[in-house]
Amino acid sequence: MRTAICSGSFDPITLGHLDIIRRAAQCFDRVCVCVSPNAEKRNQMFTPEQKLLLVQTAVAELPNVTAELWPGLLADFAVSHGSGVIVRGVRNATDFDVEYQMALINRGIYPELETLLLPASPAYQHFSSSMAREMIRYRQPLEQYLPEAIIPLVRELTEKRKED
């Protein structure tokens, strides 16, 4: 069974992320989505557990996709799940440069680990989680940015946060 890993901080998961995950699910028997809490990123909107819930909700319709939280190195996650492939989406040359460097680092840790870079679909090239967070903050319609299944949950979580 060929297993691929899709990873990210998913704050929140966008239609662009989901497109990459769906495309990976068509190419591999199994896809494990690694939700990585990224302490380096500022202005995070959701907790790691909330991010996991959003990802699980977004991928629920994909029978060969699961999602887990992982606080450690992505390369270790891949190996622990019996995968030799990390799938990453790239929107532009800047993303490519960053992902290429990460691929080299991961391969330095585990030489058998490959990284497959999928170009973003044209409809999602301009998408980012930071842009989605702005749309959420300013109560804009979210249907063109986020998976439909998570929109009520996003609204609920952000309203709850305001109450706290």
Find the domain containing 15 and state its range: 3-163
Residue 42 has pLDDT above 90, yes or no: no
Buried b (16+ CB within 10 A) or exposed e, 88-126: bbbbeeebeeebeebbeebeeeeeebbbeebebbeebee
Q: Among all residues, which ones are annotated catalytic?
A: 17, 41, 91, 129
User: Number of folded domains in the chain?
Assistant: 1
136 has pLDDT over 90: yes
CATH code of the domain covering residue 149: 3.40.50.620
For residue range 64-122, what is the model confidence (pLDDT) as tens digits?
999 999 999 999 999 999 999 999 999 999 999 999 999 999 999 999 999 999 999 99
